[in-house]
Amino acid sequence: MRRLALALAAVALPTAASAQTMRCIQQDQAAALVTFALPSLVQGLAQHCGPELPRNSYLLGNATALADRYRPDAAAAWPTARAAIAGIFSQFLGQDMPPEMNSDLVRQLAEPLLGNLLAKRISTTDCVAVDSAISAAAVLPGRNVGRLAVVAITLADRKDKGIAGVLHICRPETRP
């Protein structure tokens, strides 16, 4: 458990050395990570952004129901998200993730850790925009929200610094 926390914490704490050596994560794995974290991300955003949002905001009124609706897609994304976490684990700790870390307990610990980590990366000045985006995307299945989030992150990452300067999403290959 401690190793998983260290690997996920490494994503949260950018350093010059890790930013230089980090390989990119494939888009399907990044989408799975976001989809996997959606229930906790939505609830974390409601808590993080609550003070900045009007009382009638979509996020404050619907976070719990939306998180519950995303749980089946989050569970389905776990195998691919686990593979992504294993890659991050290996990258930052220099060893393979132990097989016993594929347990349901690890999944239950990783989802809120990752979701809350992502929620805290949102500036409170962006909370109204986040509420609007979540409201617009709420009709979509969680797996589609995960994919859209990865596309948005990839487009926004024009300087190729990655998420928090550490986690890079591979750019899609262009056709010749």
Which segments in the chain show pLDDT lower than 70? 1-22, 102, 158-167, 173-176
State whether residue 168 is helix, strand or coil: strand
Provide the CB-side half-sphere exposure for 151 (13 A, CA): 6
pLDDT value for 158: 64
**Domain residue ranges of the chain, discontinuous segments joined by +:** 2-169
Query: Which tens digits make up the pLDDT trace of 52-76?
Result: 999 999 999 999 999 999 999 999 9
In this structure, the number of other CB atoms found within 10 A of the CB of residue 171 comes to 11
List the one residue out of 134, 175, 161 whose CA is nearest residue 38: 134
Query: Which tens digits make up the pLDDT trace of 78-94?
Result: 999 988 888 877 877 78
Provide the CB-side half-sphere exposure for 129 (13 A, CA): 5
- Contact partners, residue 98, CB within 8 Å, separation at least 6: 3
- For the question of whether the overall pTM of this predicted structure is more than 0.75, the answer is yes
